[in-house]
Structure 1
């Protein structure tokens, strides 16, 4: 049992506690350095964990040596560790940008940021549903504080809506866990898969109701239609580094959907197999189109980027509904691409708004930018990537998505919606770029300039777009290996519960 699995959870906790202690707490510069150095170490540890998982396969960490299914366990497979690694990469860009001055606009930015990382990493690594609920609550509590960072009416209003909706979601989550625990006698994901496979007929509808309640919870977390209405206002109101980190928040809901409805209610679940697909397929396609319409209708750049997040959510939900190895591989590749690029766009929106004076990032004529060439280049790279055009990573991701469709009907629907939404995104970004960079109301530029840390943060996230094309071969191999490992449910259960506890056999 490797202790490296728990490191992505423990490191942010200890970092947050260290930052709150004197003398570090009283020095802004010390807080920044401790937070940034800790995030770099976190990235190194997660990369090491990913390499270890690729070499050794699925492994788990039993806290207190309580063996599953009775104790708290963390499970490391290629997919979950890849998501933790992605979070670390995004966090490094966000914390560097925040350390350029944004962190001093409110209290406890760095401790809250680290607690948020702890919750996100725990949600990806946990091996049972109750602790998924616990980590959800940890990251949500931290996100409440981060959302109102720097204050303001818009932030407070968005935070109230966000808090109320997520409290309602948490209540539904508990109801579903109570139903599932009462019928299955366990909340360990691997053990639940075993119990569902031999479920007596009289309990089928009860377990199905619990599973569909989970679908509602994860749909709210992921912002799937019709539960997406909170996202544009919330993400556009958040401060830039917080909005960038929030780009991975919806992916936690997508990951939970994929994990639960592949492992617990997957092919081995008998009558309950694929019960979410009939809902996820149409809702995913509708979410894509709603996000694309939102991109065209957006009146400011931040709202436009928030709608791009909704498009990525719809795309990933549609892939989850397909329940195939090719679709699961596309989920991982496209998640990495969309999360990093959307995170970069939130930072870019702030830099553009700062140099346009009173116009900010609103899509109206504004003051001439002081650095139009630098910001324009970054805008073009991000726009090409997020629209799915060559030679950036979005093109490879879209190819994997289109190839994942199985039946002719799926091909027609998926290809039509994805390609039409890409065209609408291209039109929306072209409109935004022409207004922001070409429609100038004055000849004098302001004094604002991009700071070195801000340039590094934005460049770090945008660098993923070309690098994912350069290393497309290894990354697609990683994605397919993660997909095959996730869908090999028998082997995972045997590793976690023991050889006797395979699906369909009495443990």
Structure 2
């Protein structure tokens, strides 16, 4: 086995070793911890790029790595296929950008930011790579344990209150996860995802009922993590209260639940009886639509940009759930493109909010709303010299341009990647190949996505006017290049997605088609041979001339 074969396990080992070594420092040397964090995160980015390059042209089954050299379903397997390496790349890019932003000052707000950050990356990468449900639970708990500490990073009453709510909700979700996994194992006799797909049809009726209950409980745990309505009420306040780089990194956490629904849903529904974690598709689609509507209401009602970004995460999750629930390779491919674009855009928006609001007083938003509600104009807007308007400093022009880019991406306006993603979903929804019942669902999703874009545009325009055009006196924010760079990187990546939309959409379509036909994934897991090792040879025992011991 050459070193390239070990790339699959590297996204787990690198943050594990880095985080463990930083814990040995016990917070005594922040400079060394920060250096280790940067090296480890950039290494993860390099590994993710290499895995995408290696797996992008492979068959849909991907590469299977046998931990302990035990074949499936007896041993633990890691599977690097197109979907998992795509999520690894998104995580590595997001981690690199948010870490760069945090190094300006936010990493100093707590003692263990750097090891917690690496353990969060480890949990995310492990969840995307693992091939069995139990280790999915393990990596979920690793990333959640790290996220608990990061949600409270920086302290403050608002963070503590929201963080405790976040911990309580996720502990309940973890309990549901464990109950569902236990029921599935008790009936199917395995938690290997590929093995489950082959055993469902042979279950007797009484065990089949328990299996379906376990699947339902497990699905609820995934949907809690995906923040589907009505169990996603906790998300906006938690994300708005978190430190900006943490909130930006958290924008990938809801996508872990989406990933689990995609991965397990398509595998389990490959059986003859079509038992699916997607709840028959229609229920997931209805839940996604409800999540979008709830997010729209929150977006329109939000007077703080942090809350606006938090509700945008809900709209993003709802759009993905509705598209996945509707089904079809074309819709799923567009949803995967939207996943990448919306994750980068929301993360950039969270980082941008902190820069924009740095020079604002807490009462500025209230004053702006009051002036707007009563139609009052600022007397300083026009003076005796006849000059009208205000001069915009350079830093505000830069931040305003970035804000416009985020608004265009989140609302789905042309020409950026948000429009390409939504257009791919909407065009696939109206393909004349579905029956009358399915067409009603398609038009419901179609109309909801369009309305969410309009609501986002209105809310972002209102927030932009209050922030950049209001004539309330404020201090100009002091922004470092190291803080502007991550925002620029994420927005440039969205522009690159637009320019290379053809290549990216082909990759997403191939990924969706591979999910819809999981036979290649199942075959790759069971066909992976253990690595050939040299047989053990005992060392020769020294003897005397007569054959006895020396």
TM over 0.5: yes
Q: Does 1:96 align with 2:96?
A: no
Call closer, same or farther: CA 1:61–1:360 in 2, change over 3 Å: farther
Task: Determine the C-alpha separation between the residues in 2 that align with 1:360 and 1:92.
Answer: 33
Q: Does 1:6 align with 2:9?
A: yes
Please state whether the residue corresponding to 2:273 is helix, strand or coil: helix
Aligned-pair distance for 1:227?
0.4
Please state whether the residue corresponding to 1:427 is helix, strand or coil: helix
Give the counterpart of 2:354 among 350, 355, 367: 350
Q: Does 1:315 align with 2:319?
A: yes
Task: Determine the C-alpha separation between the residues in 2 that align with 1:70 and 1:361.
Answer: 59
Q: Deviations over 1:18-45 (max 9, x none)?
A: 33344x9533333223212221111111
Task: Determine the C-alpha separation between the residues in 2 that align with 1:131 and 1:278.
Answer: 29
Q: Which has the larger radius of gyration?
A: 2
Task: Determine the C-alpha separation between the residues in 1 that align with 2:467 and 2:76.
Answer: 51
Q: Which residue of 2 aligns with 1:504?
A: none
Aligned-pair distance for 1:234?
0.5
Q: Deviations over 1:396-416 (max 9, x none)?
A: 000111123244213321211
Contact 1:193/1:269 (<8 A) preserved:
no
For 1:480-491, list aligned pairs within 5 A: 480-491=509-520
Q: Which residue of 2 aligns with 1:414?
A: 445
Q: Which residue of 2 aligns with 1:258?
A: 262
Task: Determine the C-alpha separation between the residues in 1 that align with 2:24 and 2:151.
Answer: 23
Q: Deviations over 1:308-345 (max 9, x none)?
A: 00000000001111232112212211110011110000
Aligned-pair distance for 1:14?
1.4
Q: Does 1:435 align with 2:466?
A: yes
Structure 1: which 5+ runs fail to align? 500-507
Q: Does 1:45 align with 2:71?
A: no
Task: Determine the C-alpha separation between the residues in 1 that align with 2:504 and 2:363.
Answer: 41
Task: Determine the C-alpha separation between the residues in 2 that align with 1:395 and 1:305.
Answer: 18
Task: Determine the C-alpha separation between the residues in 2 that align with 1:80 and 1:205.
Answer: 31
Aligned-pair distance for 1:378?
0.4
Please state whether the residue corresponding to 2:79 is helix, strand or coil: strand
Contact 1:235/1:246 (<8 A) preserved:
yes
Contact 2:187/2:210 (<8 A) preserved:
yes
Task: Determine the C-alpha separation between the residues in 1 that align with 2:450 and 2:113.
Answer: 40
Please state whether the residue corresponding to 2:9 is helix, strand or coil: helix
Aligned-pair distance for 1:93?
0.7
Q: Which residue of 1 aligns with 2:201?
A: 197
Aligned-pair distance for 1:461?
1.1
Aligned-pair distance for 1:363?
8.4
Moved more, 456-465 or 31-40: 31-40
Contact 2:333/2:508 (<8 A) preserved:
yes
Q: Deviations over 1:125-174 (max 9, x none)?
A: 11000101000000000001001111000111011111111111111111
Q: Which residue of 1 aligns with 2:475?
A: 445
Contact 1:215/1:276 (<8 A) preserved:
no
Q: Which residue of 2 aligns with 1:503?
A: none
Aligned-pair distance for 1:434?
0.6
Aligned-pair distance for 1:481?
1.2
Give the counterpart of 2:211 among 207, 211, 216: 207
- Number of equivalenced pairs: 496
Contact 2:333/2:512 (<8 A) preserved:
yes
Aligned-pair distance for 1:463?
1.2
Please state whether the residue corresponding to 2:523 is helix, strand or coil: helix
Aligned-pair distance for 1:359?
4.4
**Structure with greater proportional helix content:** 1
Task: Determine the C-alpha separation between the residues in 1 that align with 2:364 and 2:111.
Answer: 25
Q: Does 1:395 align with 2:397?
A: no
Call closer, same or farther: CA 1:468–1:212 in 2, change over 3 Å: same
Q: Does 1:106 align with 2:110?
A: yes
For 1:367-378, list aligned pairs within 5 A: 371-378=395-402
Task: Determine the C-alpha separation between the residues in 1 that align with 2:496 and 2:364.
Answer: 31
Contact 2:180/2:218 (<8 A) preserved:
yes
Moved more, 89-98 or 193-202: 193-202
Query: TM-score scaled to structure 2, two decimals?
Result: 0.87
Call closer, same or farther: CA 1:359–1:13 in 2, change over 3 Å: farther
Please state whether the residue corresponding to 2:73 is helix, strand or coil: coil
Q: Which residue of 2 aligns with 1:26?
A: 28
Task: Determine the C-alpha separation between the residues in 1 that align with 2:274 and 2:99.
Answer: 46
Moved more, 361-370 or 221-230: 361-370
Please state whether the residue corresponding to 1:74 is helix, strand or coil: strand
Q: Which residue of 2 aligns with 1:298?
A: 302
Q: Which residue of 1 aligns with 2:532?
A: none
Contact 1:250/1:313 (<8 A) preserved:
yes
Please state whether the residue corresponding to 1:67 is helix, strand or coil: coil
Moved more, 154-163 or 398-407: 398-407
Moved more, 223-232 or 349-358: 349-358
Please state whether the residue corresponding to 2:354 is helix, strand or coil: helix
Q: Deviations over 1:93-113 (max 9, x none)?
A: 100000001110111101100
Aligned-pair distance for 1:360?
7.1
Task: Determine the C-alpha separation between the residues in 2 that align with 1:328 and 1:172.
Answer: 27
Moved more, 448-457 or 422-431: 448-457
Q: Does 1:15 align with 2:23?
A: no
Q: Which residue of 2 aligns with 1:505?
A: none
Q: Which residue of 2 aligns with 1:383?
A: 407
For 1:462-473, list aligned pairs within 5 A: 462-473=491-502
Query: TM-score scaled to structure 1, two decimals?
Result: 0.94
Contact 1:301/1:363 (<8 A) preserved:
no
Moved more, 48-57 or 343-352: 48-57
